[in-house]
Structure 1
Amino acid sequence: MNFEELKSFLDEKADQYNHSDFIENDPIQIPHRFSAKQDIEIAGFLSAVISWGNRKSIIKSAEKILDIMGNAPYDFVLNHSGKDMTAIEDKSIHRTFNGQDFVYFIRQFNRIYKENDSLEDLFRIDEQEINFYHAIERFRNHFLEPEKHRSHKHISSPYKNSSAKRIIMFLRWMIRKDKRGVDFGIWENTDQKYLSIPLDVHTGNISRKLGLITRTQNDWKTVEELDRMIRQFDEKDPAKYDFALFGLGVTKELQ
């Protein structure tokens, strides 16, 4: 396919999969159970952080997290007791994300929300920047305590060349604004033009089949390679093509 044909194809697929039906089988259904901004942020962040593996398993684990928080994430973050934390520590949550990690995240959220109205405040992006490379690292420096902790591994660092897939996905959920009802678009002070594609095995393979990227690793350098290509298709809303690449991966249409 030439440039125009590829753009037309991806626009069509993005339009096809960016639909409210998408929510039903995706972890984004978890934050969609809430209407308050902070509840959406906390439920969305925790769901994104555990988003590796089978989607049904991810959703089931995220529902376990909601149950522990009494289906009131923001209230739990602000008002949990020491007894609540002790009860969580030995729980199994999702794969390598365990009760100790959950307790750590709740404590960080508690500190952050006492100082900020929204997690958006921690992802501020400077106008001269082209993506969230530096903003994610600034967030990590705010959210993670200076001393090492096992939970740090659950928030990847672009500075270490990670694709930071789960954080990039969370940012898409919070920032992208359209009328399709999938993404929330509740971060009104952050422009969606800075968003990237959440890069994993599936989106990476589809991108290579379509000639969007040439690198074989799924790392931050490849995220930026994909950035440069998709922003030629739509510089104002590049992340919409995540729906196209993800949908093509799920349906195996290109096999």
Structure 2
Amino acid sequence: MKTSELKDFLDSKVELYNNPKFIESDPIQIPHQFNKKEDIEIAGFLTATIAWGNRKSIINNAKKMMQLLDNAPHDFVMHYQDNDLKTLESFVHRTFNGNDFIQFIKSLQYIYNTYGGLEAVFSKHAQQGSLQNSIHHFKQSFFEIEHLQRTQKHVSDPLKNSAAKRINMFLRWMVRQDNVGVDFGIWSSLSPSQLSCPLDVHSGNVARKLGLLNRKQNDAKALNELDNSLRKLDPNDPVKYDFALFGLGVFEGF
């Protein structure tokens, strides 16, 4: 397939899947329950953190997370008492347990108090064509306070060759303005051109079949290769093709 044909094909799939109906079956529905910027970003970050495995299970457990935070995530993060944290101990999603959840709430409060919020800490180390360095420094900042060693595994580090799928998905939600109401685009200090595609089994397999990716592992090197391919198709909004790759893989069994 020629580049122009591939672009037309993928653009048509973006149009098909990047619309409000996509929200109904996707974890992005959780932050869509909120209107306040800080609620959206905290709900989005926590939901993206547990976004692996069965999608129904992800959505159900993300709903439980919000209920445990009194459906006011920012208020909870900023004003919790020790007794409030105890109620989180029962939470579990795969290997992410109540102790991890408590650690995340403590670290989020630290990020808001010390750096002025999630957007500020990601923006601080952003590079012109990539946010992978930002993710690395975010992880360092997130665990500057005393923390459980085991919880570190729940925040990926691209500089340790991780594709960081879940954080890249979260960043897509926050930064990309799609004008149709799926992605939020509430972080104006960053640009969609800096985003990387959330690379997972589905998007990776489809990308390989389409000749956008050759590397077999879904790691940071593969992500860089895929990013380069997608930037050639649309340098201003490369991760819009996440909708096409994901839709082709999950909904069409491409």
Tell me the distance in 2 between the aligned counterparts of 1:125 and 1:235. Answer: 22
- 1:125 Cα offset (Å): 5.6
Tell me the distance in 2 between the aligned counterparts of 1:73 and 1:128. Answer: 29
- For residues 95-122 of structure 1, give each alpha carbon's deviation from its aligned partner in whole angstroms, at most 9, with x where no partner exists: 1110000000000111111234431101
Q: What is the aligned partner in structure 1 of residue 73 from structure 2?
A: 73
Tell me the distance in 1 between the aligned counterparts of 2:126 and 2:205. Answer: 32
Q: What is the aligned partner in structure 2 of residue 192 from structure 1?
A: 192
CA contact (8 A) 2:27 2:51 kept: yes
Map 1:116-155 onto structure 2 (within 5 A).
116-124=115-123, 129-145=128-144, 149-155=149-155
- For residues 50-94 of structure 1, give each alpha carbon's deviation from its aligned partner in whole angstroms, at most 9, with x where no partner exists: 0001111000000110110110001111111111112322x1321
Tell me the distance in 1 between the aligned counterparts of 2:76 and 2:162. Answer: 31
- For residues 106-165 of structure 1, give each alpha carbon's deviation from its aligned partner in whole angstroms, at most 9, with x where no partner exists: 001111112344311011166754211211111111111366621110001111100000
Q: What is the aligned partner in structure 1 of residue 52 from structure 2?
A: 52
Tell me the distance in 2 between the aligned counterparts of 1:100 and 1:222. Answer: 32
What letter corresponds to residue 115 of structure 1 in structure 2? T
What letter corresponds to residue 142 of structure 2 in structure 1? F
- 1:45 Cα offset (Å): 0.2
Tell me the distance in 2 between the aligned counterparts of 1:101 and 1:253. Answer: 34
CA contact (8 A) 1:31 1:39 kept: yes
Q: What is the aligned partner in structure 2 of residue 108 from structure 1?
A: 107
Size of the aligned set, in residue pairs, is 253
Higher relative contact order (CA closer than 8 Å, sequence separation 6+): 1
CA contact (8 A) 1:70 1:76 kept: yes
Tell me the distance in 2 between the aligned counterparts of 1:88 and 1:134. Answer: 31
CA contact (8 A) 2:49 2:155 kept: yes
Map 1:60-99 onto structure 2 (within 5 A).
60-89=60-89, 91-99=90-98
Tell me the distance in 2 between the aligned counterparts of 1:125 and 1:107. Answer: 21
Tell me the distance in 2 between the aligned counterparts of 1:70 and 1:170. Answer: 22
Q: Matched residues, percent identical? A: 53
CA contact (8 A) 2:172 2:183 kept: yes
CA contact (8 A) 1:137 1:159 kept: yes
Tell me the distance in 2 between the aligned counterparts of 1:138 and 1:61. Answer: 28
- 1:199 Cα offset (Å): 0.2
CA contact (8 A) 1:174 1:185 kept: yes
Tell me the distance in 2 between the aligned counterparts of 1:112 and 1:128. Answer: 20
Q: What is the aligned partner in structure 1 of residue 159 from structure 2?
A: 159
1:127–1:72 Cα change, 3 Å: closer
- What stretches of structure 1 of length at least 5 have no aligned partner? none
Q: What is the aligned partner in structure 1 of residue 16 from structure 2?
A: 16
Tell me the distance in 2 between the aligned counterparts of 1:127 and 1:110. Answer: 22
CA contact (8 A) 2:91 2:101 kept: no
- 1:253 Cα offset (Å): 4.8
- Runs of 4+ in structure 1 displaced over 6 angstroms? none
Tell me the distance in 1 between the aligned counterparts of 2:117 and 2:81. Answer: 22
- What stretches of structure 2 of length at least 5 have no aligned partner? none
CA contact (8 A) 1:125 1:132 kept: no
Tell me the distance in 2 between the aligned counterparts of 1:51 and 1:84. Answer: 24
Deviates further, 129-138 or 222-231? 129-138
